[in-house]
Structure 1
Amino acid sequence: MYCHQVLEICVFSSVFNMGQSSSKRNHNCKKTSRGIQQMHSSLETIQNEHDDNLTQLTYPIHVDNNLVPGWINKSQFLEILSDNVPEFSKIENFCIKPASTAGENYSSLILRISIDVKLTDKSIKSMSFMMKVPHESAKMQQMLKTVNFFTVENATYTELISKFEDLYKSIGMNIKFAPRAYKFTESLKKEPKLANTVLMHDLCQDGYRNVNRLECLDVEQSKLVLRKLAQYHAAGAHCRVINGPYPELFTQPMFGSNKERAVSILEGIMGPFKKMFLEHLYFYKDGEKYSEKFALLFSKMSRKFLKLSTFDPTEFNVINHGDCWINNLLFKFGSKGELIDIIFVDFQLPKYGHPSADLLNFIMTSVHIDHKLKYFDYFIKYYHDQLIEHLKLLEYEDRLPTLAELHMQLYKYGIWAITASVMVLPIVLLDQNEKTREYMSQLYTNERYKANIEQIMPWLDNRGLLEV
């Protein structure tokens, strides 16, 4: 699955074009200049949101305090503090401000809420939360009726993550997959808008941070992510065995059961990316060599993507993170710079299915180009070893997936490698400081992406992933 920023932003236009006839959609597709302008606007929003994170960043953020919704106030947090802070007395100081840059088209606004809590012994305890809220535009409200990311993310934290972590606690392992999330109850009765929010512990307080996405990850960093991913997947698979099937929220098709409508939405999402990539193939070494293969593959991509998005009950399935890439990973380092732990954030697209979605998306977007292809099979073997180890630790009762099966299914689900390389990687590798008037043309022509895709294309071709 590619980054949810791509999905969320593009869904806006797709949802609002669904009422139009197919002939009008085809007519609009022919209007190249208009389509490119729309994509430019969407991609600029995507790039901005890629650089907004739930933790401190390595560069300054310029925020607009006027973005803070007026319906959020400190009284709503009294129940959160009363339930979670021993000896809570009262709120001494309350500060709320955006943790992301201004932008009308963002799918959500990230707020940092800093609170000084007075305890019964008169001491002060400082706390910090991160809160995701939707923008109140008509488009956003319409999108939430189609895909409510806030409902999904809250359910993931409260119904899945806590269970996964408890499974490991039961065997004496303290494994954290995500920041702790909090639920409003009494405050929700007075302010219904709180239902479409996600409130989390601010992991900055615990020393977690992002790493530079432009540099991607080295081998040891990648292995730590794959280990945590294997632990997460093992828990998801075992939880299914002991608790029964997952609710439809995590198994149903993202765009509903109407296949033609879903294909139309996917075309609205993928179309501009596919078009621009094909137009820029000549920039790359031997790019024209792959032109016909990409064109044919792209013509079938939406339907293939949709088909493979539905889980196969005969395969080994897990709860995929759904958006596993470098900016959704928070790293913790020791005093000597050693890597201690990673934690996942942003659970707006988890789906039950084969783990290849997370594996291909992570490796193709987040591992440095010097390692992602050279050590690809090694990474898969390392992940599989960790997966089997933790399935056994959890006393998983179903048949264990073999390494050979995993490799074969990675071929079956190879479309994830294509979408990651063509639609996500160019955004990941574009420096925010390069956002000039030529910003969009640099998406597929900047030297970082060029160096990556020139190695990735023959790798995809040699593995047969460009064949329809």
Structure 2
Amino acid sequence: MPDNSNKFCATNDVSIPSWINEAYFKRLLKREFRDFRRILNLSIIPATPPGETYTSLLMRIVIDIEMKDGFSQQKSYIVKTMLDDVRGNGGFVNTLNIFPKEKMMYETIIPQLEQLYEEAGLTVKFAPKCHWAEELNGRICLVQEDLRTKKYGNISRLKGFDMAQMQRVLEKLAEFHAASAVWHQRNGPFPEDFQRIYLPANYNKSKSYQARVQSYKAAMASWGLTDHEQYVNRIPTADQFVQSYARCFNNNPQEFKVLNHGDFWSSNIMLSYTQSGEINQLRFVDFQMCKWGSPAQDLWELIICSAKHSIRIQQFDCFIRIYHSHLVRCLKILNYGERMPMLRELHMKMIKYGFWGYFTTFTHLVFILLPVDTEASLVKLTQPGEEGDCFRSKVYTNPLYVRSVLSIFPFLYRRGILDFK
């Protein structure tokens, strides 16, 4: 069953902007429906996963409309817009330029990636249809189709993808990456926003990182790792963390690179199924963090954060082969003009950029495997002091997380990925 609990939950704690109203949607409906007469009812459901972090305000808009012939119908949209600077993380988040990037993805780049397959005689879709994308008074707003009305849903983030699901997701990712490589070959570099590194300049002086590492090391002693001290001693210092992150981005023109989704885990991957229970279609959502670089970034995040626990490490090399085989197939279909990436090269890049494996384990996986917790927040995870220590102890010793790191850390250690010095 799809896990809807972590995607759309009504809450009283979200302030709906006053401009999200009937007048705003009349413009869209008049453009979409020639016989539109009037709005009968408009409902706004805040899409606010409890205990998860946000870079956006996300809403489901359900509208009952009357047509000129007197008949009525219901339409549902997903509206995504920027946080207010005065509320939440808006001021910081809006400086990252993630909204202009996502607007460009939906309006221009994704349609062009899909067009590449159309030219090759194939129908390939990567994202929900974007009905409306506009910037008004410095605020960007996206109005997208509601995939849930077409029976798309997310898996349970606590359980992860099984082998059949992983194969389809990896193949879809390969299709996306292949098209981006061909786009780059035809059009030249992606815009500058897709090549920037977003890491605070003062990260190595950050008290929040020190607090997190201190709590993490304390938790590691309780996990049950054999010779846990050898792992504790390999947790990177702030300087090592920053340097390792920066090394994941390089301008070596000889390396095979793609446009990474950049936030590639189960809640941003939606699936539909046939009546017999087979996977039918996949769509990706949330293109705010797209980055040009090694495909290792998306692969590490997908496998670490969203593969089912029993297959995450056991099938790791198999996942890379599945992805690589389909990647080469798609590059050939799209007439990629450069040398095809080899499987062994991809395995080597997974080690070279293995920091993504540690990074997603230390950051994203902590929240992904946390059962719904209305008290959870990124602020609590990073704030020094007693309240922060208490919350970090809770999330770092969460049984689901501990079960995962007991296999992930030895795996990273065996591959030399934890050798930061």
TM-score by length of 1: 0.79
Query: 40, 51, 66: which is aligned to 1:118?
Result: 66
Matching residue of 2:294: 354
Residue 342 of structure 1 deviates from its aligned partner by: 2.0
Any idea what SS the aligned residue of 1:208 has? coil
Pairing 1:222–2:174 present: no
Paired residues in the alignment total 404
Matching residue of 1:315: 255
Query: 270, 275, 283: which is aligned to 2:214?
Result: 275
Residue 66 of structure 1 deviates from its aligned partner by: 6.4
Identity of aligned residues (%): 31
Q: In 2, distance between residues paired with 1:103 and 1:223?
A: 30
**Which runs of structure 2 are paired with 1:2-401 in the superposition (5 Å)?**
56-57=4-5, 61-64=9-12, 67-100=15-48, 106-138=54-86, 140-184=89-133, 192=137, 195-254=139-198, 262=201, 264=203, 267=206, 270-284=209-223, 285-286=225-226, 287-295=228-236, 299-401=239-341
Q: In 2, distance between residues paired with 1:56 and 1:429?
A: 15
**Which runs of structure 2 are paired with 1:417-432 in the superposition (5 Å)?**
417-432=357-372
Q: Is the 1:356–1:409 contact (alpha carbons within 8 Å) kept by the matching residues of 2?
A: yes
Query: Is the alpha carbon distance of 1:270 and 1:131 closer, same or farther for their aligned partners in structure 2, counting shifts above 3 Å?
Result: farther
RMSD value over aligned CA atoms? 2.8
Query: Is the alpha carbon distance of 1:336 and 1:434 closer, same or farther for their aligned partners in structure 2, counting shifts above 3 Å?
Result: farther
**Which runs of structure 2 are paired with 1:432-447 in the superposition (5 Å)?**
432=372, 440-447=392-399
Any idea what SS the aligned residue of 1:113 has? strand
Q: Is the 1:311–1:354 contact (alpha carbons within 8 Å) kept by the matching residues of 2?
A: no
Amino acid at match of 2:412: L
Q: In 2, distance between residues paired with 1:87 and 1:130?
A: 22
TM-score by length of 2: 0.87
Matching residue of 1:29: none
Any idea what SS the aligned residue of 1:390 has? helix
Any idea what SS the aligned residue of 1:277 has? helix
Give 5+ residue unaligned stretches, structure 2: 377-386
Query: Is the alpha carbon distance of 1:214 and 1:419 closer, same or farther for their aligned partners in structure 2, counting shifts above 3 Å?
Result: same
Any idea what SS the aligned residue of 1:238 has? helix
Cα deviation code 1:364-397 (max 9, x no counterpart): 1110121111111111011000000011111111
Query: Is the alpha carbon distance of 1:158 and 1:273 closer, same or farther for their aligned partners in structure 2, counting shifts above 3 Å?
Result: farther
Query: Is the alpha carbon distance of 1:58 and 1:360 closer, same or farther for their aligned partners in structure 2, counting shifts above 3 Å?
Result: closer
Q: In 2, distance between residues paired with 1:376 and 1:275?
A: 30
Any idea what SS the aligned residue of 2:256 has? coil
Query: Is the alpha carbon distance of 1:184 and 1:351 closer, same or farther for their aligned partners in structure 2, counting shifts above 3 Å?
Result: closer
Q: Is the 1:273–1:423 contact (alpha carbons within 8 Å) kept by the matching residues of 2?
A: no
Give 5+ residue unaligned stretches, structure 1: 1-52, 256-260
Pairing 1:456–2:397 present: no
Higher fraction of helix:
1
Matching residue of 1:465: 417
Q: Is the 1:99–1:111 contact (alpha carbons within 8 Å) kept by the matching residues of 2?
A: yes
Q: In 2, distance between residues paired with 1:245 and 1:341?
A: 30
Matching residue of 1:48: none
Q: In 1, distance between residues paired with 2:14 and 2:407?
A: 45
Q: In 1, distance between residues paired with 2:171 and 2:117?
A: 14
Residue 213 of structure 1 deviates from its aligned partner by: 0.8
Q: In 2, distance between residues paired with 1:265 and 1:292?
A: 18
Q: Is the 1:363–1:372 contact (alpha carbons within 8 Å) kept by the matching residues of 2?
A: yes
Q: Is the 2:159–2:309 contact (alpha carbons within 8 Å) kept by the matching residues of 1?
A: no
Q: Is the 1:98–1:112 contact (alpha carbons within 8 Å) kept by the matching residues of 2?
A: yes
Q: In 1, distance between residues paired with 2:178 and 2:133?
A: 30
Any idea what SS the aligned residue of 2:283 has? strand
Q: Is the 2:84–2:91 contact (alpha carbons within 8 Å) kept by the matching residues of 1?
A: no
Q: In 1, distance between residues paired with 2:204 and 2:82?
A: 21
Query: Is the alpha carbon distance of 1:313 and 1:263 closer, same or farther for their aligned partners in structure 2, counting shifts above 3 Å?
Result: farther
